[in-house]
Each structure stands twice: as structure tokens, then as C-alpha cells.
Structure 1
């Protein structure tokens, strides 16, 4: 088994230690995989050859999703052939068994090749590649790349989070009333969507505004960058959120499940915020009966 080198000095803060990524590090491999795949995905916008559905007519998959995942898998496993790999397109719809089996793997790559597939299909330019690496269930690398805006968000455990080398930081709003919160219209129509709609109805009069842009990973990256105050959704999967969770944590924010319990890779109902009004958001969700539990 190869030893990972994240170039982390625990005695030096990110402000003191200039952010540098070794060309042979897993972070560099993830960045390279995201960048190359992102440019290929961008070139295929408006040129989809296959369009299928997964668990519902609202849950789409294209030949681009499948090709992008294969590309990322090859780029990563060429460097780390002994690592486990969990990609969205390699999992049966609505199955949690792969995560149950892989959560404690020594090194596990968690990949969503196109987060925001419906947007991609529609030509709506809001989708991304999400790549995370976990070590015995603990997230240590998170990369989200938006090819349409050429924005690369990168986080390393203990090293902070960055967008093109500039540190990201969560916003400063203290209350829901001052906050812009992202929400999602989950494609699972029987369980997740009704709960999310209840949550939206409860949050709408309590917040400055709500946003629903169709990509969980991008929502999380925007919370990390201070562009959104928080994000709530029931019915997610690890590949939707793993990279974004680390981005937020390393940007000074907070991510828990909708009951306020510590995040883990099996969590599917999450609240992610700047940390200041986290409990207030959870309380609204719980009072609305929209936590998913």
C-alpha cells in the first residue's frame, strides 16, 4: 500500500505555510482528474448521445456521466491502484450497500462525475465534478470543479480550503433571517422530495431567500466560499456531498445530519452552514417534521 503525502505540517497554519501541492500527491491527482474530465464534459455540452433514467424519470444519467466516471477512475487508479473507488454511476439506484461495505476502507475515492446531470442535459450551466478521498472513513481530500466557470475548489484535511489557491471562508450571517439558504428538489419522489418541500415551506418565511440550483456539490462549495449561508437537503448520497463537506469544514463552517449529529460518510440527510445559525436551521427543520428521521 502506498503512503499518502499531503505535505501537512501540523505545527504550521495555512497562513504561515504557502499552499503547495506536490505533483505526486493524491490532491494533485484529484485536481488533474477533475480538470481533464471537466474540460471533456464541457466539450460534450449539447452533444449527448445516450439519455437514460435511474430511480425515477427525474433521475437522469447520460453517456457523458458514464464516460466521465470511467475517465476519473482510470486517472486515479493509475496512480493508486490499491485504493477503493466508489462512483455514482457504478452503484445501483438507491442502494446504500456499497457505502456500508466501503466506509471503513483504508483509502476510498468517492466520485460524482457530473453532479447536476439534469442541468447538463438542459444546457443550464450549473454542474460540476466532485472527487473526495477518505482514509478509514475520514475525509482527507475534497475537490470540486466547475468547468463552465473554471473554478477549482480544493480542500485538504488540516490545510484549509482554496479556490485557485486563494483561501475560502464561510459567510458571517448570525441568523436565518439574514441568510440565503440552498435547498434541493430530490429525484426520489416518495420519501425525500415531500420532506424537502416541507423543509422549504418552513424555511422560506424564516430566511432572507432560498436558492435551488440543482447541484448538491456546488451548493456546498458555495457555502464554503461564503456565497451561500447554508444548505439543507434530505435524501443525498456520499458522492453528492463528500468533497463539499470537507470544503466547508476547512473553510470554518459546520456540517451535520439533520438531527445535529456529527457527519459521517453514511449520512444522507444533511445541514451545512457557516456554523453561526446552524442550530436555528436544524430547529426549523425538526419543527417542520422535515429531518428525514
Structure 2
């Protein structure tokens, strides 16, 4: 069977520029999460949006539990999209777990990547004390995964406001909760397990692509210690601490997010 990569991942292309910029959504989301950011890039870039298999408008028929039991399965899809579109030297903007998916893809084939922009990244969510603080202990992650299995809707309404922060703007956590709930529960749980159990620390030394780390303040998913760790272990990386609170600045603080990405790209 011939796979139509662009249909599989619901790829959308816009913009009037030639320099490619790829926006990759995080866990429990889809490409719509970039809607406040994308218009600012369309004059100068060729903008590529997509959904991971199991998210948004992707083709669920292509979901393979074995393939996607590792972040490398998602990295493979990123490379296939880039190959299909014949991209070279693209800017890859990854939110949350997509930062590491992009990093893994760039290690496998760096010719596709000019820069990595990481929004709320984490190479490891689980603490490995005393040397590494990821923000969660193993028991907390196990409880979260159990809750997803037992009560998916309850899990979504519990996690959304914690991840979003910005409690005075209820509509933001409502949107995130709705996004969580729109996923197939079995696929979402596997993606959650693959995400929260992943450990990409050993992959950091191999990264040859320069990167921007956008670290949100008061981020319950990827705390400041994680941003500092990444900056210390990624050569040619730039760390910017955002005023934005929470884990979804592209929704809660799109102007600040856009400005930081643009100023970084303009100066490199």
C-alpha cells in the first residue's frame, strides 16, 4: 500500500516566503494550537503544519501501536514529511514533546534542519535525583497514566488547568481540556506514556543543529531546572526565559512567543 504522507499527517502549507518553518504540536493537541502564531510568519516563510498520527485531522488508519511506542516513530514521520516536501534547512518549532521529536529527527538527518526552536521542552520528565530534576517522580506519572485509563474525561479536566496555568483565563484551560477529550483514549494514553517515560538526555550530545530554548516561567510540566539542564547540555543553544506562565505560551502569550522566535531567527 502506498502511503500518502501528506494525507496521513494532515499537512497544511501556507505563506509567501521560501524559507521553510515547520510547527509541530505537543501531546494532546493538534496543529490548530498554532493559529495565533502562524499569521505572523506567513509573509516571510513557507509555513508547514501537520498532525501526528492519532491527533487532529490525521489518518487514524495509520496508527501503529508498535511504531509509536517510541518517540523515534514520530521522528520518522517528521523526516518523511520533510522528505516528501523536499525541505532543506528548515526551522523546526516544536512544542513540549515535539522539541525532543524534532531533536531526534535532526540527529538522524541534520540536512533538513537549520534551527530547532523548543517551546517548553524536556528531555526527561521524571526526576533522577540527585543529578537531574525533571519535575515529576515516577509515582506521580504512574498515577496520571492510571487515571487516564480509568477515567479519561476526569483526567482531562484535572490536567488541563494545571498545564495551562493562567487561571484568570478559564477559556484557555477549557480549550485544552476539549483538545484532550477529542483524542482516541487508547492512542492518547500510549502517547502520554511514551512522552512521560521518555529519556532523551543521552541524545543531547549528538545534536549538531543550533537551538533556541523558550522556557516558560511557572511551568508545571517543564520547570526552569529542565530548561537550564538543556541549555547546559546542548551546544550552540540559546535560552530565553519567558514572562508567559504555564506550558502553552503559543495560546496564552502568542505575541511574546512570536517576538522571541522572530528576534532569534533575525539575529542568526
TM-score by length of 1: 0.27
Q: Which has the larger radius of gyration?
A: 1
Higher fraction of helix: 2
Higher fraction of strand: 1
Identify the structure with bigger relative contact order (alpha carbons < 8 Å, sequence gap 6+). 2
